[in-house]
Amino acid sequence: FLNPYSILDVGLQLSFGATLGLILYAQKFNDSLLRYVKIKNKLFAKLVYYLAGTFAVSICAMIFTVPITMLSFGTFSFVLEPFM
């Protein structure tokens, strides 16, 4: 409220976009990923649930941040780098 021009800041837009993506889609996407998963081993089940949740949160945060990035910077780089 003190600075109405702060809405034009890309960092604020990205923060709101990522948060909105998480609020709207993360639980639904995670549930759809795990809908047919039936694992009896508890340790392996925890690992699968953790990985599915991490993947769901990452994708859902990108739902709104990728378009903001493309509009703000005019480009988007999708590069997968190895962990070496």
φ, ψ at 56 (rounded to 5°) = -65, -45
pLDDT for residue 80: 63
pLDDT for residue 13: 94
Confidence of residue 81 (pLDDT cuts 50, 70, 90): low
Q: Is the pLDDT of residue 68 over 70?
A: yes
pLDDT for residue 47: 94
* Residue of 17, 16, 29 lying closest to 59 (CA atoms): 29
Confidence of residue 3 (pLDDT cuts 50, 70, 90): confident
